[in-house]
Chain A
Amino acid sequence: MKEINDLNLPEDLKYTKDHEWAKNSDGVITIGINDYAQDQLGEIVFVELPEVGDTFEKGDEFGSVESVKAVSEIYMPVAGEIVEINEALEDAPELVNESCYDNGWLIKVKIDDTSEFEALLDKGAYLDMLKG
């Protein structure tokens, strides 16, 4: 497993204490799990995602990521409506390991209010949390 200093955590993303990342493009938030989470889980074999049109509150469980011997629930960093899910993960869950910030994204969410997004952690704050 990676040391904290070896983690790839892009500067331009927001992070959550549950090890997700989020990116805002014009009110649509793309969400995935970050390098730390994918590294801890190991080889990911299945990703369970919601359906387009589902709506969630901040903190709701919206899916799960599975390795052979572990399951991690994933939680909404912001409230909103699912506008797109990464369908490629159905046949290729390994994309989350290979490219967690790019081809391995999970969902896109439409939000009404950007304040929840703005309140997420930046890289520095997230790293501080990890180091405890």
Chain B
Amino acid sequence: MRYLPHTREDIESMLKVSGLSSLDDLFNCIPDDLKTKQKMDIPQALSEWELDTHMEELASLNAANKNCKYFIGAGSYDHYIPAIIPYLISRSEFMTAYTPYQPEVSQGTLQGIYEFQTMVTQLLGMDVATASHYDCGTALAEACLIALRKHRTSNKIAVSSLIHPHHRQIMQTYLGPAGYEIVEIPYTDKGVTDIKALEKMDDIAGIAVQSPNFFGNVEDLASFKTVAADKKILFITSFTEALAYGLLKNPGSFGADLVAGEGQSLGIAKSFGGPGLGLLAGSKKQMRNLPGRFVGKTLDSNSDKGYVLTLATREQHIRREKASSNICSNNGLNAMTAAIYLATTGKIGIREIAQQNHDKAFYLKTGLEKAGFKPAFNSPFFNEFVVKVPDSFKAKKESLINDKNIFAGIDLESFYPELKNHYLFCATETISKLDIDQLVKEVQ
């Protein structure tokens, strides 16, 4: 096996040093009755050639193996990934390093993550950002835990029903066993969170609202902040489409205390939903309540600048059962990917790409309406929106995938049973005018 360097002579001489005569003797300290008598039923080792063939066969069973057009998002977006991103991120010094616990030989990861934290604070208008989390759903659950732990009396958190349904499920998984309760805030016929319903809610420890929300609509974050301030509780916002903040006013400008988001749009492949990138940012006041890693700037013994992991006392390896979270790893390489992406687009590029996302989505919506689909909600949106389709669309949608490699819309009924025949559409910069015209023609 090419990964195992030992020759027979190596093994013999190394065993001799340990005073053993066979490799099996190495396991003498394990009682015989604990050793397995069963073989591992795993296919015979494949050569690299055979592996290539096998994996290509598997990959080709996915529709994505063809050149597809994605008119779907809902937490995973098809964006262009510039060639320099996979090229740079594949540098093995980044890829094959461990967590930067030895800062003298980890300055690359550390400065890169420090820059990532900085760019995330710029994007979101927040004071501090962590070195990243698993995904938006888990970051949001952690944010809710902060609000709940800080509140002395309430064990309930108000959560918009237009937060990604899967994120709400994760919150339930995380919060339920600890004895916390989630109260859902309904949505209005405009497809936004019902602030009036929220105002009536008493005894809550925090408010969580996603914007753009699951329907793609932009929420009135300023009003939610007012309610949170009145109730003296933490205001948490989330998002699944990071590029929205290339165009929209950022959550920090509305006074968000905590922001959880998904960074997959920032140069990371969809990869069937993971690994993505959990973003978590906060106001200065929340800095020490945030879970996960931080990189900070300092000086070395020669007074040269350098970077280290810092504020580690919040973390599990020091605080153990009293830690703010059990999180240990971050999605470091994907954070670095996002940093490279943000440096590549820069201030000019991110605005232009974000604007084009909105332009294309607007053009798509107009086209679909012309084709006879009905707009579901009349609210401003970024690159996703909901339309009501005729009964015949379900069959059409199948044939579009099978015949044209077009993924057109996500059926919302399984998430919101009241929304029969409602579909969530998305258009990004990878979709051309021609693609949209073709889709509109197909569904007419």
Contact = CB atoms under 8 A, between A and B. Distances in A.
| Any A–B CB pair closer than 8 Å | yes
Interface of A: 46, 48, 66-71
B313 interface: yes
Given A46-B288, A69-B313, A70-B318, 9 more contacts: A46-B313, A48-B288, A67-B313, A68-B312, A68-B313, A69-B312, A71-B313, A71-B318, A71-B322
Contacts of B288: 46, 48
Interface centre among A48, A67, A69, A71 (most CB of B within 10 A): A71
Contacts, number: 16
A66 B288 CA distance: 12
B319 interface: yes
A112 B313 CA distance: 35
A98 B313 CA distance: 22
A5 to B, nearest CB: 31
Contacts of A69: 312-313, 318
A9 to B, nearest CB: 27
11 contacts: A46-B288, A48-B288, A66-B313, A67-B313, A68-B312, A69-B318, A70-B318, A71-B313, A71-B318, A71-B319, A71-B322
Nearest to B323: A71
Nearest to B152: A54
Interface string B293-326: 0000000000000000000110000110010000
Contacts of A46: 288, 313
Contacts of A66: 313
Interface in B319-372: 319, 322
A71 B312 CA distance: 10
Nearest to B310: A68
A68 B318 CA distance: 10
A25 to B, nearest CB: 30
Contacts of A70: 313, 318
A70 B288 CA distance: 15
Contacts of A68: 312-313
Interface string B175-202: 0000000000000000000000000000
A33 B318 CA distance: 21
B151 to A, nearest CB: 14
B232 to A, nearest CB: 13
Nearest to A73: B322
A68 B288 CA distance: 14
A69 B312 CA distance: 7
Contacts of A48: 288
Contacts of B313: 46, 66-71
Interface in B266-315: 288, 312-313
A117 B288 CA distance: 32
A75 to B, nearest CB: 14
A67 B313 CA distance: 8
A40 to B, nearest CB: 15
A90 to B, nearest CB: 11
A66 B312 CA distance: 10
Contacts of A67: 313
B178 to A, nearest CB: 19
A48 B285 CA distance: 12
A69 B322 CA distance: 14
A67 B318 CA distance: 11
Interface centre among B313, B318, B319, B322 (most CB of A within 10 A): B313
Question: What are the nearest 4 A-B pairs in CB distance?
Answer: A66-B313, A71-B313, A71-B319, A69-B318
A16 B318 CA distance: 25
Contacts of B312: 68-69
A92 B313 CA distance: 18
A67 B288 CA distance: 14
A116 B344 CA distance: 64
Nearest to B311: A46
B321 to A, nearest CB: 12
B314 to A, nearest CB: 9
A70 B318 CA distance: 7
Nearest to B322: A71
A85 to B, nearest CB: 16
A48 B322 CA distance: 15
B246 to A, nearest CB: 35
Nearest to B308: A68
A121 B119 CA distance: 53
A102 B329 CA distance: 41
B283 to A, nearest CB: 15
A67 B311 CA distance: 9
Interface in B415-437: none
Contacts of B322: 71
Nearest to A71: B313
A51 to B, nearest CB: 11
A69 B313 CA distance: 6
A48 B288 CA distance: 10
Contacts of B319: 71
Nearest to A66: B313
Nearest to A69: B318
Contacts of B318: 69-71
A70 B322 CA distance: 12
